[in-house]
Amino acid sequence: MQHVVVVGASLAGLRACETLRMDGYDGPLTLVGAEAEIPYDRPPLSKKVLAGEWEAERIRLRKADDFASLALDLRLGVRATALHTDRRSIALADGTELVYDGLIIATGASPRHLPSQPALDGVVTLRTLQESLTLHALIADGTARVVVIGAGFIGLEVAATARQLGCAVTVLEGLPAPLVRGLGAQMGTAVAAVHGRNGVQLRCGVRVDGLEGEGRVSGVRLEGGEVVPADVVVVGIGVAPNTAWLEGSGLQLGDGIVCDASLNVGVPGVYAAGDIVRWPNAAFPGDAPMRVEHWTNAAEQGAAAASNLLATSKGDEPTPFQSVPFFWSDQFDSRIQFIGRAHGDDEVHVFTGSTDGNFAALYGHGGKLRGVLGVSMPRMVMPFRALLAEHASWDDALAKAGALTAG
């Protein structure tokens, strides 16, 4: 390979660059990023950075002077606008074109917006460093009435941070329970109870009809006409993969880029990593191809995509990427950890603690262990990752839980 391009200057893209260099690629390497920012860590944006406890420099994935060792051609603050696989080139928004021999796509995802969302001051999403700093300025004095639309992990993390700053916080969720997609209704309700104990008003089963305000937001209008007063509205209704620039490229798109088990996009020399990838994960045989939006997955896939690109460039076979998803979320004094994948009809067994506080639970389906949830119980969660990778039976999981709690 004479030139490798990585599109996406966040965690997955940076890990890809680091792996290429560590594994021996010493040719030209270009990293393209839409933000004019050196790659940074996103999880603190809804917590430490939003709270004003950490400066922006603390979340850089590498300090500015550390990039010299990677010998990158950094193209920051410029978006990729098109991919031409026939001539192996990428068009950029500044009018330039990059020709590549190897390509890794890691363009991530962007927040979804409300239908016909008006452009009002005080209405924000949270995905970038600048958005976190903007939201911090709106809530820092603790006097704002904050309404969070969406009771997923980001929404609840923002709610917890705003409440800890002193703001009055209301969370609105259309589904009948919080965290349904990540944890299921039963456990989602149990985990989110920490918000009620800390003064957050959590309202589920409500539908947002629109936003009120002239120039600046003044409230959220619900179906039926009720208006929830708001000085700040945080729209946290999920993210959409950044694939618009790939339309017409010939890649298979469907809620992300559809990849094979090795993270190849169906074109020689082109791989993908991170939030944008939909792939068959052999760690969960029988499941549909999955897309995972977690930190650990982005880091691991960035490295795997780079390794497979190098392997195939040498004529070697790529290695299928399989992984047991793992994510965590800090909300008030609770650290929520989950390993695996939750189904809506999983059997859930709390094996230690109480859902009124700290606890750990197993998720099972079809006689197999599917996942493990812990609330402020890390020692009861991490030992199960190997069992999940081995497709452990439900009985084996119960036995492991018994051994962990016996002492």
Residue ranges with strand state E in 223-358 = 227-229, 232-235, 239-241, 257-258, 270-272, 277-278, 326-331, 334-340, 347-353
17-26, 27-36, 294-303, 336-345: least confident range: 336-345
Judged against a pLDDT cut of 80, whether residue 387 lies above it is answered with yes
Instruction: For CATH 3.50.50.60, list the domain ranges present in the chain.
Output: 4-110+240-313, 113-237
Is-contact 29 13, C-beta < 8 A?
A: no
Predicted local confidence at residue 407, as pLDDT: 64
pLDDT digits (tens, 9 = 90+) for 16-25: 999 999 999 9
pLDDT digits (tens, 9 = 90+) for 342-353: 887 899 999 999
Q: Does domain 113-237 have CATH number 3.50.50.60?
A: yes
As a whole number, mean pLDDT of residues 197-211 equals: 96
Closest CA to 252 of 282, 226, 232, 272: 272
Query: What pLDDT shows up at residue 67?
Result: 84
pLDDT (mean) for 236-240: 96
CATH of domain 333-406: 3.30.390.30
Model confidence over 147-200: pLDDT tens digits?
999 999 999 999 999 999 999 999 999 999 999 988 999 999 999 999 999 999
Question: Which DSSP category does 274 fall into?
Answer: G
Per-residue b or e along 339-368, where b marks 16 or more CB atoms closer than 10 Å to that residue's CB: bbbbeeebebebbebeeeebbbbbbbbeeb
Which of these CATH numbers, 3.30.70.3270, 3.50.50.60, 3.40.190.10, 2.60.40.10, describes 4-110+240-313? Answer: 3.50.50.60
SS3 assignment, position 330: strand
Q: pLDDT averaged over the chain? A: 95
The answer to whether residue 380 scores a pLDDT higher than 90 is yes
Q: With beta carbons less than 8 A apart as the criterion, state whether 339 and 324 touch.
A: yes
For residue 79, name the pLDDT band (cuts at 50, 70, 90): very high
- Mean pLDDT across 285-309: 95
pLDDT at 246: 98
| Confidence (pLDDT) at 64 | 77
* Per-residue pLDDT reduced to its tens digit, 102-151: 999 999 999 999 998 999 999 999 999 999 999 999 999 999 999 999 99
The whole-number average pLDDT for the span 297-319 is 97
Percentage of the residues of the chain whose pLDDT score is greater than 90: 94
Could you tell me if 117 and 211 are in contact, meaning their C-beta atoms sit under 8 angstroms apart?
A: yes
Beta strand 277-278 pairing with 123-124: unpaired
pLDDT surpasses 90 at 243: yes
Residues of the chain with CATH 3.30.390.30: 333-406
Confidence at residue 285, expressed as pLDDT on a 0 to 100 scale: 87
**Over residues 323-339, mean pLDDT:** 94
Residue 313 pLDDT greater than 90, yes or no: yes
